[in-house]
Amino acid sequence: MTDSITNQDLPLGVEVRHLAALEAIARTSSFSQAATLLGYAQSAVSQQIATLERAVGHKLIERPGGPRPVSLTSAGEVLLRHATHITARLGAAKADLDALAAGDAGALRVGTFQSASARLLPPTLTRFRDEWPRITVELRNERRSSVLEELVRAGQLDLAFSDTGLLAAPLKGADLITDPYVVMLPPGHPLAAADSVDLGSLDGVRMISGSPDDTCESRVMDAIERTGVRPQTIFRSDDNLTTQRLVASGLGIAIVPLLAVELFVPDAAVTVLPLAAGQQLGRTIGIVWHQDRYRTRAAEAFVETAVGVAGSIGMPTIPVVTSRPTPLFV
């Protein structure tokens, strides 16, 4: 045990502030901007990096001089990856201590995204606040569930609604609802006459798509590519209602999760059909947490509440016609 503590292979001179300085320089490519970000003098940041380089025995920063930006060496990039994990775990540790001190009162930080915010979050919050009135729920909305998962890993969120289909350690989750993908069509579109839409029929079809790096969009594009067809993406939007309104205007079709479809919006009337047999796609929306972190009773109760609410939510029956306006296609 003594030998492991005093093992000279470990860079024992490294301090958290040294790693924070390295992260700040990687983010800003500047000693002066890193100092501003951290609230230090520039000389202090320089000293911290010099101390860090001595401790690890490697040059970490390329300093070209003059107005040119500084950059990390290969060794600096390697250490940065470890530094990011270390500072994230320390953030999680602080969050644990804060939660422990808070007990049944205090704040619960919950992340959410569009679809969950629209259907799962409101009834969950209502029921939870009735049972835990002393807990303040702090909400953070992000466009991508992957961002929310990273915030949970870093200890900046206690819980987050997420697409749990790709969940990996150190996160754990409770599945809430299965959300099938559907095809949104403008009223009167030729494809709307069928009972379902075959992906093979989408060659050259105009589409409203999401960002290429979005998980939902990736699933759709992978499925389309497997059919060998090439639809024409004419616009990209990560806002559910914007996508639906563009479809309703006759600009194209979209393939989205069912929970992303807004019902009874007058200027966003679309026809919603399922994908053809054998081509169905789906996602599982759940609520996730850090498995290595202490979870308060309030956090556990929030998960239990979300599970209970999800069990009572009815999904629309497909096909769906959100309303019946004058057809755009003849």
104-177+284-312 belongs to which CATH class? alpha beta
Task: Please report, for the chain, the start and end positions of each structural domain, with discontinuous segments joined by +.
Answer: 2-91, 104-177+284-312, 178-282
Q: Decide: helix, strand or coil at residue 180.
A: strand
CA–CA distance, 257 with 284 (Å, rounded to integer): 10
Task: Compare 328 and 30 and report the one with higher pLDDT.
Answer: 30
| Mean pLDDT to the nearest integer, 56-65 | 90
Is-same-fold flag (104-177+284-312; 178-282)? yes
Amino acid occupying residue 309 = V
CA–CA distance, 115 with 236 (Å, rounded to integer): 18
Contact indicator for 296, 159 with CB cutoff of 8 Å:
no
Instruction: Check residue 111 and give left, alpha or beta (phi > 0: left; psi -120 to 50: alpha).
Output: beta
CA–CA distance, 162 with 149 (Å, rounded to integer): 7
Contact indicator for 324, 271 with CB cutoff of 8 Å:
no
pTM, 2 dp: 0.67
* Burial readout 131-170 (b: 16 or more C-beta within 10 A, e: otherwise): ebeebebeeeebebbeebbbbbbbbbbbbbbbbbeebeee
Four-point Cα dihedral 146, 147, 150, 152, nearest 10 = -100
Mean pLDDT of the chain: 86
pLDDT band at 1 (very low <50, low <70, confident <90, very high): very low
**DSSP H helical segments within the chain, as ranges?**
2-5, 16-28, 31-38, 42-56, 74-102, 114-119, 121-131, 145-153, 215-227, 240-248, 297-312
Tell me the CATH number for domain 2-91: 1.10.10.10
- For residue 269, give both structure tokens: 């009337």
Task: Compare 35 and 97 and report the one with higher pLDDT.
Answer: 35
Q: Decide: helix, strand or coil at residue 270.
A: coil
Instruction: Give per-residue pLDDT as tens, 243-269.
Output: 999 999 999 999 999 988 988 787 888
CA–CA distance, 124 with 141 (Å, rounded to integer): 15
CA–CA distance, 324 with 264 (Å, rounded to integer): 10
Q: What is the pLDDT of residue 247?
A: 95
Check: CATH 3.40.640.10 for 178-282?
A: no
Task: Compare 286 and 106 and report the one with higher pLDDT.
Answer: 286
Instruction: Give per-residue pLDDT as tens, 271-329.
Output: 999 999 999 999 999 999 999 888 888 999 999 999 999 988 877 777 665 655 444 33
Burial status of residue 107 (CB atoms within 10 A of its CB: 0-12, 13-18, 19 or more): middle
Burial status of residue 102 (CB atoms within 10 A of its CB: 0-12, 13-18, 19 or more): middle
Give, as one character, the DSSP assignment of residue 148: H
Instruction: Give per-residue pLDDT as tens, 116-141.
Output: 888 899 999 999 999 998 889 999 99
